[in-house]
Amino acid sequence: MAEPGAPKNYPRCFDPYLRYAISTEFKNFEENLQEKWDRFDDDKYRLLLLIELKEAGTAADFAKVAGQLEPTQPEFATTKYGIELAPYAADSRYLTMRCRASAVLDSALHESVWGNYVNRVALSLPVKPSSPKSFQKSAPIRHRFKEGKEAPGPLLIGMLDDGCPFSAARFLRTSGPLSTRVRAIWDQNQNKQPVAIGTRKFGMELTDFAYGLEYRRDFAAGIEPQQIGLDDWISLHATATDGVDEDGCYAAAGFTTLARRDSHGGHVMDVLAGPVPISSRIGPSKPGKDRRDPPSWTPGRPSTDPACDADVVFVQFSDECIRDATGVWLKTYVVQGIQYILSFADPVKTRNVIINLSYGPTTGPHDGTAELESALSALVAEYNGKNNKPKLDIVLSAGNAYLSDGHVVFTSDSEQPEHVEWIWRLPPDNTVLVFAEIWMEDDEAQGVTVTLTSPSGKVQLTSGCAVIGTTLPKPGGTTPQLIGPIVWGKDRMWLLEVGPTVVRPEDQASNEHGDWTIKVDGIPENAEMHAYVARTDPNMGARTGAKRSHFVDSNWEQTRSAGASCTRIDGEFDRTGSLLDRFGTLNGIATGKKHRVHVAGGYVVADGRKTPYSSAGRPRGGHRIGPDYALPCDEDNALTGIRAGGNRSGAVLRLIGTSTAAPQLARQFARLRGGLALPQPTAVPSPNDIAAIAKRGGGDLEPP
Residue 440, domain CATH:
2.60.120
Q: Is the peptide bond before 87 cis (omega within 30 degrees of 0)?
A: no
With a cut of 90, say whether residue 259 has pLDDT above it.
Answer: yes
Nearest to 2 by CA among 471, 499, 496: 471
Q: pLDDT value at position 132?
A: 43
Shared domain for 542 and 600, answered yes or no, is: no
Shared domain for 504 and 591, answered yes or no, is: no
Q: In what helix (H) or strand (E) does residue 248 lie, and over which residues does it extend?
A: helix 246-253
Quick one: average pLDDT of 1-27?
Answer: 70
Residue predicted with more confidence, 650 or 111: 650
Quick one: average pLDDT of 192-200?
Answer: 93
**Within a domain: 137:** no
First-to-final CA distance of the chain: 56
Show the CA angle centred on residue 335, arms to residues 332 and 340, nearest 5°.
120
Residue 64, domain CATH:
3.30.70
**Within a domain: 335:** yes
Shared domain for 169 and 316, answered yes or no, is: yes
With a cut of 80, say whether residue 402 has pLDDT above it.
Answer: yes
With a cut of 90, say whether residue 374 has pLDDT above it.
Answer: yes
Q: pLDDT value at position 83?
A: 79
Q: What is the pTM of this model?
A: 0.93
Asked if 77 contacts 71 with a C-beta cutoff of 8 angstroms, the reply is: yes
Residue at which a domain ends, from 573, 594, 611 = 573
| DSSP code per residue over 539-562 | PTT--------EEE-HHHHHHTHH
Distance CA(44)–CA(49), nearest Å, equals 16
Shared domain for 596 and 515, answered yes or no, is: no
Q: pLDDT value at position 515?
A: 96
Quick one: average pLDDT of 407-414?
Answer: 93
Average pLDDT along the chain: 87
Shared domain for 446 and 362, answered yes or no, is: no
Parallel, antiparallel or unpaired: strands 597-604 and 391-397: parallel
Residue predicted with more confidence, 463 or 137: 463
Q: pLDDT value at position 42?
A: 44
Q: pLDDT value at position 318?
A: 92
Q: pLDDT value at position 138?
A: 53
**Within a domain: 618:** yes
Residue at which a domain ends, from 573, 603, 637 = 573
Q: pLDDT value at position 20?
A: 85
Residue predicted with more confidence, 41 or 219: 219
Nearest to 560 by CA among 543, 549, 544, 576: 576
Shared domain for 161 and 299, answered yes or no, is: yes
Shared domain for 415 and 557, answered yes or no, is: yes
**Within a domain: 504:** yes
Shared domain for 682 and 536, answered yes or no, is: no
Shared domain for 565 and 640, answered yes or no, is: no
With a cut of 50, say whether residue 477 has pLDDT above it.
Answer: no
Shared domain for 472 and 509, answered yes or no, is: yes
Domain assignment of residue 28, given as a range: 16-127
Residue 622, domain CATH:
3.40.50.200
**Within a domain: 66:** yes
How many structural domains does the chain have? 3
pLDDT bucket at 465, cuts 50 / 70 / 90: low
With a cut of 60, say whether residue 39 has pLDDT above it.
Answer: no
**Within a domain: 251:** no
With a cut of 50, say whether residue 33 has pLDDT above it.
Answer: no
Q: pLDDT value at position 296?
A: 86
Q: What residue type is 82 in one-letter code? A: G
Distance CA(358)–CA(313), nearest Å, equals 15
Shared domain for 614 and 506, answered yes or no, is: no
Least confident of 232-246, 494-508, 644-658: 494-508
| DSSP code per residue over 25-51 | TTGGGHHHHTS---TT-SSS-EEEEEE
Shared domain for 479 and 514, answered yes or no, is: yes
**Within a domain: 229:** no
Least confident of 235-249, 272-286, 383-397: 272-286
The overall longest dimension of the chain from CA atoms, in Å, is: 81
